[in-house]
Chains A and B, each alone.
Chain A
C-alpha cells in the first residue's frame, strides 16, 4: 500500500517538475472505460480454468478414471474465478490470498481421507497402466481407505485443481508468463504421455488455447490489471532519457478486455481447428509408439519408481570409472555412462568372456569387501595363476587405461609378464616368471632369454599404457596340480578366505539349507594331490557346489541393474538373498563369496572388466602383423588384431574359488541378463546424443529392435542419424509447408484473376465502362508497388499528371521509402506511350467514369489497348 502511494507521490512530483521544465505536463491517460476490470478478471478466470481443468481433467481422463465432471468443472471454475479476482484490487489481493490458503487448508483437513484415497486411486491406476506398458511383474499398490473412486477422485481433482489454480493464477494473472504456465500444465501431463496415453481432444484444445492466448497477450502487452495504481490508471507511464539526451515518455495501455477476449477467441479457434486437423491427418502422432530416446534413457528409473517407490531413485550409484571397490551398500541403480574406460588390443582367442582382473576383495564387513592390500599388506605369499597345458601359445595384450581407475592394473588371466614389471625387476624378466615359464614351456619361452627380443615384443608405456603377456586360454580346470602352490600359501588361503561375519553366518547357512546346496569340506581335507582320481573328484565336488549355487541364482534370482536400494541398517548380502532376490553382478558375486565360504570353500571377491564376445565383434580391427601379437606354433585362422572399446558397462564382479594344490579359478555367478534389460545405447544420455549425431555400429546394434525411427546396422553418418530421427516430423512439416504454399498461390492467383474475371463479367453484362475502370485500377496500384506513386489509390488526375510527366521526362525517380536513409536515386524508364495517347486514354477513362452509359465496346477495346501500353 505504501509502495502504491509512494509511486503516486513520485509521479506527482515528476509532473510538477515537468510543469517547471516544460511549462506543461500530461495527466492520466484514459479511455473512459474503467469499468472493464470485472471483465478482465473474468477472462483471466476462464484462462486459469481452462489450464487447470485441461491439466487435471486431461490426466485423469487419459488413464480412464471416472469422476463427477459437473461438480469438478463447477468447483474448478469457482476456484479459478476466485483466484483471478484476487487481482481485482489491493484489498482482494491481500485478503483474498489469506482466504484462499485458509480455505485450502480447511478443505484439505476436512476431506483428508477422500483426497488421500482419490490420490491413491489415481496412483494405483496409473501404476497399473505403467505396469501394463512396461510388462512389469510387480507393481506397488497403495491402500484406498475410501473405496468409492467416483467420489474420491473428484475430491482429489478439486484438491489438486485448487493447488494448480493458485499457481496458475500467479503465472497467468500476475505475469502472463508462458514458460511457467507451460511447465505447470505440461509436466503433469507427462505422467500419461510417457506411456503413450493421450488425453481427449477437448482437454488438449483447452491447454493449447491457453498457451496461444498467453503467448499472444504476453508479447502484445495490455494484459495487466491496473490494480497497482491507486486511482486505477489505465496506462502505465515510464520516463527515460534517449541517446540524444532528450526525455521520452512511454505510455503503455495496461489491459484491454475486448482485445483479450478477441485474442482468446481466436486462440480457441486456432487450437480447435489445428488440433482437429492435426489429429485427423496425422493420427500417428497421437497413437504410434515410435522409438523415444528420452524414454529409453529413463525407463529404468521409471520402472524402479513404479516398483520400489520414488525414494528408490534417490540413492543411486553411477558406475563411472568402472569399479565399485567392493562397496555395495545402498546402491539402488547402476547407471553406466558408457564412456570409454580403456582400450584393449589383442588377438581374439575365445568366444567366451575375457576377464581383466583388478580388484580382489578379501574380508567382508559393513556391506563391503575390503581390498587385498588393505588387509594383508605386501607379505602375501606369491601365487601365480594355475598351470596350463603346454600349448606353447602366448599372446600379447595392450591395455590403455583411460578412466578405469588408475590404482589398479587390469590383466587377463594366465598373464606372466607385463611391461610395467620391468621397472621393478630391472631390465630382466622376473626370475620366477622366467623359471616358471621355462619349466613348463621351454620351447616357446626360449625367446625370453633374449632381453632385446622380449622387450621388443612386449613394449609399451608404463602405467596407463602397458602390455601384458598372457596365455590365450579359456577358463577350464585341468585337474593338473600346480607345482607353484606351496603349503605356506595354502595355509594362508584357508586362514584368510573362509572368514564370514559371525552375525551373518546363521542367515547364510539357512539360505544354503533352503537352496539345498551342500558341500562337506571335511570330507576332502586329506586328499593326496598325487592321487589323481581322488584329487580330481575332490576338485569336481567343490566345483559342483559352486555350479549348484550359480544354477540356483539363475533359477530363482533376477539380474537387473536397478534392484532398488538396500534399506538403512540392512546388510546388502542378507537383504539381497532374503528379500530383494534381484540385483547385479556385485550382489551375486559378494553373496556367492560369502555362501561358498560358509560351505568351507575358499573364495574371494573380484572386480574388473569382462570383455564379452559381442564387444569383440563390435570392435574395430586394427592394422598389424598378427605374428607380432602372438607366439604360437600354429597361426590362428582368419585371426586379426582388434581394439576393443571397453566402457564402464563392461565393469563386472565375479569370484575366484580356490582349488587345493591347483590355485584360484574364476567363476561366473551372475545370471545372464534378460532381453528386456537395457542395452548400452538405451541407458545413457551420452549414448543418446551419440546415437543421434554420431551413430555407431555398436549403438545401432543395441537399438536394432525394429523401430522405424532407428538406424539400421551400418547406417552411419553424422547428419543421417539426426535426420532419420526426425523422420516422423517430416510428413507433417511437408503437409504444412505444402498447405502454406498452396494458400499463398491461391491468394496470388485470386488477386491476379479477380479483376480479369470481374471485367469479363461486366463485359458480358454490357458494362464496358465498368470493365475498363476495373482494368484501370491495376495501373495506380502497380505504380505504387514500383514506388513511383506515394498512394495506392490515386485520383485519376494525379495519375494522369504523374504519367504525363513521366512520359515527357522519359524517366521517373523511385520514391524513397519512408524512414529509410537516403540512397542513390533510382530511375524507371517511361512506358512506350505518347502524350497524345495518354490524353486519349484519360479522356476515355473520364468518360467511362462519368458517362458510362454511352461507353461502347470499341471505346473499351481502344482503352484496353492503350492501358496495356502503360502497364
Chain B
C-alpha cells in the first residue's frame, strides 16, 4: 500500500479552515466556531476510517465466458467490490487496461462506491470487432478518503483474457497444393516420415558431407564413395499467413477458414508463423481443431506489433528459410495466393 496526498484539496481545506478561524476570531459566532471544530475533527476521522476500512475491501472480477467468443459477440465483464465494513467508501478507483493483443490497449479508471456491507457489481459489456486476444489487466485499487486528502493504493494484480475467434468465412472451392520439405532439418528432427534406404553409391563430389561417405566400399574400391539416400517424398499442406495490419481481419478470417477446411478434409497441415524475433519462421503442425486454436492463440501473441502501412516480409523469410518449397499456401492481403505449379501426389 502506498499513500498519495492531494495538495490542492488539502490547501483548499486549510484555507477554508483559516476562513472559519477568521470568522470565529472576528465574528465570534457560535455556529462558526462549532463548524470550525467539526472541520478540524473531520480530518483525522476521514483519513483513519478510510485507512482502516480500505484494506478490507474485496475486489473481484470475472467474465461471463472466456471461450468460443466470436467477433461482435458481446462479453460481459463483471467487477465486484465487496465492502464488509459499515463505512461506505465512496471513492474507490480501479485501474485497468483493456485491449486486443493485435490492436493495442487503452487505460481505464473506474470510480465507484463501495457501499457499506454490500457487494457492488458493475457489468461492463465489451464489444469486439476484431479477432485477437482480449486482455483486461487490473493493476491497483485506490481508495480516497472522504475529504480527498489522501489516497491509499493497494496492488490488485489480476489478468482476464479471452480469445476472440475470427468470423466464419466461406471459402470458394479451392484445390490446395502440397509441398515437400526436403530439408536436413527435417531429417535430423525426424519430422516427416523419412526413409533411410540408400538409393545408390556414387563417387564423391565436391560438397558432399563426410558422414555420407561409405567407408567400406571406399576402402574396397580405394576410392571415396558416397551414399546417396532416397530423399523423403512426404508432402504437406503448408499455410503461410502473411498478416498485415491493414488486412488483419480478412487475413485472420481466411486463415481460420482455410485451416478449418483442411481439417474438414482430414488433412494434417503446417502453419508457418513468425518466430519471436521476427527473422525466422516457426512451423506448427495442425491436425485437430484444438491445435488450430492453439496456433491461432500463438498468432494472437506473436503478431501484436503490426503497424498500419507496413508490408509483411514473411514470404521473403520463408523463401530464405525454405528455398525449395514453391507450393506453400500464402494468405496475403486478404486473399489466398496459390502457387503456379500444382503438384498433386
Which A residues are within 8 Å of any B CB, using their own CB? 15, 18-32, 186, 189-190, 193, 198, 204, 207-208, 211-212, 215-217, 219-222, 235, 242, 246-253, 256, 258-259, 262-263, 270, 274-275, 278, 285-286, 290-295, 688, 692, 709, 722, 725-726, 728-729, 732-733, 736, 740, 817-820
Contacts and interface: CB of A to CB of B under 8 A. Distances in A.
A189 B118 CA distance: 40
A22 B74 contact: no
A709 B112 contact: no
A259 to B, nearest CB: 5
B132 interface: yes
Contacts of B171: none
B155 to A, nearest CB: 5
Nearest to A244: B107
A722 B37 contact: no
Given A25-B127, A216-B146, A256-B113, A740 B90 contact: no
A682 to B, nearest CB: 13
Given A193-B30, A211-B35, A221-B90, A23 B102 contact: yes
A2 to B, nearest CB: 27
A66 to B, nearest CB: 23
Given A193-B29, A247-B106, A24 B37 contact: no
Contact of B2 (A23, A247, A250, A819): A819
A256 B140 CA distance: 22
B106 A246 contact: yes
Nearest to B91: A220
Contacts of A294: 26-27
Interface string B87-106: 01011000000111011111
9 contacts: A23-B164, A24-B100, A26-B108, A32-B121, A292-B29, A293-B25, A722-B25, A736-B41, A818-B154
A248 B24 contact: no
Contact of B34 (A27, A31, A249, A274): A274
A708 B31 CA distance: 20
B228 interface: no
B147 interface: yes
Contacts of B37: 274, 278, 732-733, 736
A733 B21 CA distance: 12
Nearest to B147: A219
Interface range on chain B (Cβ under 8 Å from partner):
35 or more
B40 to A, nearest CB: 7
Given A198-B30, A258-B118, A222 B104 contact: no
A740 B33 contact: no
A186 B31 contact: yes
Nearest to B102: A23
B159 interface: no
B35 to A, nearest CB: 7
A249 B153 contact: no
B337 interface: no
Interface string B119-137: 0111111111111101000
Nearest to A248: B107
List 5 tightest A-B contacts by C-beta distance, closest first. Answer: A23-B130, A220-B90, A27-B125, A23-B100, A23-B103
Contact of A740 (B27, B44, B113, B122): B44
B122 A30 contact: yes
Contact of A275 (B34, B90, B122): B34
Nearest to A297: B26
Contacts of B41: 274, 736, 740
Contact of B146 (A219, A252, A292): A219
Given A23-B129, A263-B90, A286-B30, A29 B110 contact: yes
A22 B106 contact: yes
A274 B38 contact: yes
Given A23-B128, A24-B127, A219-B146, A204 B113 contact: no
Given A251-B109, A733-B40, 4 more contacts: A22-B104, A24-B126, A221-B91, A248-B108
A217 B146 CA distance: 8
Given A23-B102, A193-B29, A819-B155, A31 B108 contact: no
B130 A24 contact: yes
Nearest to A292: B28
Nearest to B97: A246
Contacts of A198: 30
B116 interface: yes
Contact of A285 (B1, B34, B125, B126): B34
Given A258-B118, A262-B88, A23 B107 contact: no
Given A250-B111, A725-B25, A732-B33, A22 B88 contact: no
Contacts of B153: 818-819
B5 interface: no
Nearest to A19: B129
A248 B116 contact: no
Given A258-B88, A274-B38, A732-B37, A23 B132 contact: yes
B302 to A, nearest CB: 16
Nearest to B38: A274
Interface in B160-209: 164
A31 B120 contact: yes
Given A818-B154, A819-B153, A212 B125 contact: no
A689 B21 CA distance: 14
Contacts of A253: 110-113, 122
A722 B24 CA distance: 12
Contact of A22 (B25, B44, B99, B146): B99
B260 interface: no
B109 A24 contact: no
Contacts of B30: 193, 198, 285-286
Nearest to A246: B107
B38 A22 contact: no
A446 B25 CA distance: 61
A371 to B, nearest CB: 41
B261 interface: no
A278 B31 CA distance: 11
Contacts of A819: 2, 140, 153, 155
B131 to A, nearest CB: 8
B322 interface: no
Given A21-B103, A211-B35, A251 B126 contact: no
A250 to B, nearest CB: 5
Contact of B35 (A208, A219, A290): A208
Nearest to B148: A219
Contacts of B127: 15, 19, 24-27
Contacts of A18: 106
B72 to A, nearest CB: 9
Contacts of B120: 31
Given A247-B107, A285-B34, A26 B123 contact: no
Contacts of A263: 88, 90
A212 B38 contact: yes
A249 B44 CA distance: 32
Given A249-B108, A253-B112, A818 B2 contact: yes
A29 B34 contact: no
Nearest to A190: B29
Contacts of A219: 9, 91, 146-148
Contact of B105 (A22, A258, A270, A275): A22
Interface in B298-330: none
Contact of B123 (A30, A204, A728, A740): A30
A776 to B, nearest CB: 22
B109 A259 contact: no
Contacts of A221: 90-91, 111
Nearest to B249: A23
Nearest to B140: A819
A569 to B, nearest CB: 40
Contacts of B91: 219-221
B113 A278 contact: no
Contacts of A286: 30
Given A208-B38, A248-B106, A251-B111, A193 B31 contact: yes
A780 to B, nearest CB: 15
